[in-house]
Amino acid sequence: MGRKAQISLVAVVFTAITLAVGVSTWSFSDLKFQADMGILLTFMFLINMINAVTVLPAMAVTLDTLIPRRGRPHLHGVTAAEPEDAMH
């Protein structure tokens, strides 16, 4: 796994766990709706984290093979860096 992928993985996992822990405290609420939403949102944050780390990159590779890019992307007249020119 590349360095950029590791940094992205750490960022996604840290953010998802932080949000899940914060929202999971809602499950101790006396309000039934808030307690149910705390459980549901905690579950959804964790499922979305797993999908962001596994399914999303797989979908990007699949789409790139099904619909090949025509060239390097341009942003306001600036060509994107070549992969070997990218930061390490």
Q: What is the pLDDT of residue 2?
A: 79
Which whole number is the average pLDDT over 20-42?
95
**pTM as predicted:** 0.68
Span 56-67, mean pLDDT? 90
Of the candidates 43, 42, 36, the one whose C-alpha atom is nearest the C-alpha of residue 23 is 42
- What are the pLDDT digits (tens) for 77-88? 666 666 665 555
The pLDDT of 18-30, averaged and rounded, is 94
Rounded Cα gap, residues 9 and 49, in angstroms: 9
CB 18 within 8 A of CB 42: no
- Note the pLDDT of residue 45: 93
Mean pLDDT in residue range 42-67: 92
